[in-house]
Structure 1
Amino acid sequence: MRALVVDHGESGPVRFADVDDPVPSSDEALVEIRHIGLNFGELNYVDQWPAGAVHGHDAAGVVVRAASDGSGPPEGTRVALGMTSHAWAERVAVSPASLGTVPECVDLADGAALGIAGATALRVLRKRSLLARDVLVTGASGGVGHFAVQLAALAGARVTALVGSPNRAAGLRELGADKVLSDLAEVEHRFDLVLDTVGGPLVARAWNLLAEGGTVHLVGYSSGQDTTFPSGALFGFGEPRSIATFGDMTPTSEELTDLLDLMAAGRLSAPVGLRGDWRDVGDAVQALFARRVHGKIVLDVL
C-alpha cells in the first residue's frame, strides 16, 4: 500500500513509499483512510521520528475490519483517528481507544481536522470553569487556536484571540472571539487563562498580563524562540499564578466523540483552511511552513 513516510533528506519532511499492509492485533480495527490532517509539529520536528517510518497522527476513514475481540466500532463505521501512530497511509491498524465515531451529518474530512488540535484545546479549557472568565488564545489563526476560540466561547469565556498579523484575523470574531489583536500592547486587562501555542518572548509578555490565580498553559512553541523572564518577573504577592505544560498528547475516544457531537450539533466547526489531494503533500507542507493557511490542512487520500 501507499503511505507517507519520514524523509530526513532535502526532499523531506515526508515522501511517498510502498509499505507493507498493517496486520491488526485482536484488539485493533483496520481502517481505510480517506483523509489525513497535517500538523505543524509533526512536520517541522520530523527529525524526532526514524527515517522511513510511516508518519502522521490525525486522519479519518472507514472501518473495514472490526477488532476481532469484539471491541470498538463495527465494520462500515466512519471514524476519526486522533494522535494515532502511522496514520498517513491507505490503511491503518488502530486501537478503538483512539477512534471517534463520525456522525452522518458531519463531513468525514472535518473529522480528520480534529485529533491533536481539537483534543489539545478541549483538555486545556476543561481544567477550570470559564464562565465569565477572560481567556487569551495565542496563535489563534492556527488549528489549535481556531478550536480553542470556539470552545472557550461555548464555555462562557470572554475570549481574546492573538494573531501574528492583522491579515490572519479573518473569521475569528465569527467563531466567538470578543477581541482579535495582533499586539499584546493593545491589552488593557488581565487574563484568567492563557492558552499559548507560540512560545518564545510572547510567554513572558502573557505572564505579565496574567490575573491572580491565573494559569498560562503551554501547548506549543511554533516561534522556535527561547523564553526569558526579566529578574523578579516570577515573584509576586496574592493568589499564586502558574505556568503549566500540556502533558499527555493522546486523545481518547471519548474526547473525539465529544468534539464530533459538538460538530453534529452545529456548535463547533472544523478549521479547514486548505483542502487538497495527498499527492500534493509537498505543496501543502510549504503552505503550512509559510503560514499561508488559517486553520488546518486536510488532504484527501486518493
Structure 2
Amino acid sequence: MKAILPGTPGDTVKPVVLGEAPEPEPAAHEAVVAVEAFSVNRGETFQLDGGLDRRWAGWRPGKDVAGTVIRAAADGSGPASGTRVVAHPPAYGWAERVAVATTDLAELPDTVDAVTAAALPLAGITALRLLRTAGPLPGRRVLITGASGGVGHYVTELAAASGAAVTAVTATAERGAKLLELGAAELVTSVEDAAGPYDVVLESVGGASLPAALAKLSPGGLLVWFGQASREPVTLNFFDFFKGANQARIAHFDYTTSDAAYGQDLAALVRLVAGGRLHPEIGVIRGWARTADAIADLRGRRVRGNAVLTVG
C-alpha cells in the first residue's frame, strides 16, 4: 500500500516521501481503517527532524486519522465494517490503511466530514485533558500561550464556553484573530503584555515564556506546562517563584499519561462538533502528496490551527 515514509532526519526539503509500506497486520482488538484524511502535529515534525526519539525501528508518522472501517476487530469489539470513524493510533496513520485499537476510535455521524474529524484527535484530546487538569473554570481568569495552534483554539473555545475569561497569547494579532471569535476575552502578542494575575496559566512555548507566564499567577494559581514549541530550554529561578504569588503551583502535563482510552474523549469531541459547540480551525487542506509542504508551513508557523491532508 502507499504511505508517507520518513525522509532523512534534518532534511527540510523532503522530510517525508510517498512510498510503499506493508499492509497493517491487526491484533485481535484492532480494526483496519481506510484513511481518508489525516492531520500533522508539531510533535511529529520534531520526530521527523530527529529531535525526538522515533521510539521504534520502522516507525512511520501518523497519529490523527479519519476514514472508514474496512475490517472489524476479530474479537468483536468496536464498530462494524463500513463504519465511518475518527481514530488516534500511536503511529502509522499517514497511509492508505492503518490498524487501530477499537478503544482509540469513535464513530462519526454523517454531519462530521473526514477533514474536520482528522483535526480532532491529538489537539482535541490534549485540550480536554488540559482543562480537566486545570479544574473548574467558571469565573476564573485563564492565560494560554502559543494559542494559535490546534490545542490553543480548542482550549480557548471550550474554556470560554465554560465561563472562563481567556487571554490568548499569539505571535501576531492576525494569527490570533479567530480566537476572539471563539470567545477569548483578550488577545496579546507577548506574555509581558498580559494583564494578570491569572488563576490558571496553560504554557506551551517554553524558553523565556514560561518564567514570564509564571510571574502572572494569582495567589493559589496553577501553571500547567504542556509543551515546548520554541524548542528553547527553560531557566527558572525558584527564588523568584517563592517571592511571587503565595501557594502558586506548577504542574507538568502529558496527555498520554491518563489511564483512559482515547475513544471516550474522541466521542466527546465528535458530539461537540456535531452539536455546533466546537469548531476546529483548519489552516491548511492539501492532498497528501504535498505533506512535505504542510510540514514546512508548520515549521515556519504559517498555519493557524491544524494542517489536514487528504488521502487518494
Structure 2, unpaired ranges of 5+: none
2:249 maps to 242
2:111 maps to 105
- 1:45 shift after superposition: 2.9
* SS of corresponding position for 1:32: strand
Matching of residue 163 in structure 1 with residue 170 in structure 2? yes
- 1:167 shift after superposition: 2.5
* Aligned counterparts of 1:237 and 1:18: Cα–Cα separation in 2: 56
* Aligned counterparts of 1:206 and 1:83: Cα–Cα separation in 2: 33
- 1:286 shift after superposition: 1.0
* 2:18 aligned residue (8, 16, 19): 16
Runs of 4+ in 1 over 6 A off after TM superposition: none
1:286 maps to 296
Aligned ranges for residues 193-232 of structure 1 at < 5 Å? 193-230=200-237, 232=239
* SS of corresponding position for 1:93: strand
2:310 maps to 300
The percentage of aligned residue pairs carrying the same residue is 39
Backbone CA RMSD of aligned residues: 1.7
* SS of corresponding position for 2:265: helix
Matching of residue 257 in structure 1 with residue 267 in structure 2? yes
1:211-270 deviation line (CA, Å, top 9, x unaligned): 122111111111111212236112147752221111342761000110110000000011
Aligned residue type for 1:5: L
Matching of residue 82 in structure 1 with residue 88 in structure 2? yes
- 1:62 shift after superposition: 0.5
* Aligned counterparts of 1:213 and 1:5: Cα–Cα separation in 2: 47
1:110-166 deviation line (CA, Å, top 9, x unaligned): 110011111111101022000111111111111111111011112111011100122
Does structure 2 retain, via aligned residues, the 8 Å contact 1:162–1:180?
A: yes
- The more displaced of 237-246 and 259-268 is 237-246
Does structure 2 retain, via aligned residues, the 8 Å contact 1:54–1:89?
A: no
* 2:41 aligned residue (31, 39, 42): 39
Does structure 2 retain, via aligned residues, the 8 Å contact 1:8–1:51?
A: no
1:269 maps to 279
Structure 1, unpaired ranges of 5+: none
Matching of residue 56 in structure 1 with residue 62 in structure 2? yes
Matching of residue 129 in structure 1 with residue 136 in structure 2? yes
Aligned residue type for 1:287: D
Normalising by structure 1, we get a TM-score of 0.95
- The more displaced of 34-43 and 182-191 is 182-191
Distance change (3 Å), C-alpha of 1:53 and 1:184: closer
- 1:16 shift after superposition: 1.7
Aligned residue type for 2:115: A
Does structure 2 retain, via aligned residues, the 8 Å contact 1:83–1:115?
A: no
Normalising by structure 2, we get a TM-score of 0.92
- 1:83 shift after superposition: 4.7
Does structure 2 retain, via aligned residues, the 8 Å contact 1:135–1:160?
A: yes
Does structure 2 retain, via aligned residues, the 8 Å contact 1:30–1:91?
A: yes
Does structure 2 retain, via aligned residues, the 8 Å contact 1:196–1:217?
A: yes
Does structure 2 retain, via aligned residues, the 8 Å contact 1:158–1:178?
A: yes
- 1:12 shift after superposition: 4.0
* Aligned counterparts of 2:267 and 2:297: Cα–Cα separation in 1: 30
- The more displaced of 187-196 and 217-226 is 187-196
* Aligned counterparts of 2:99 and 2:194: Cα–Cα separation in 1: 48
Aligned residue type for 2:271: D
Distance change (3 Å), C-alpha of 1:51 and 1:133: same
* Aligned counterparts of 1:272 and 1:259: Cα–Cα separation in 2: 15
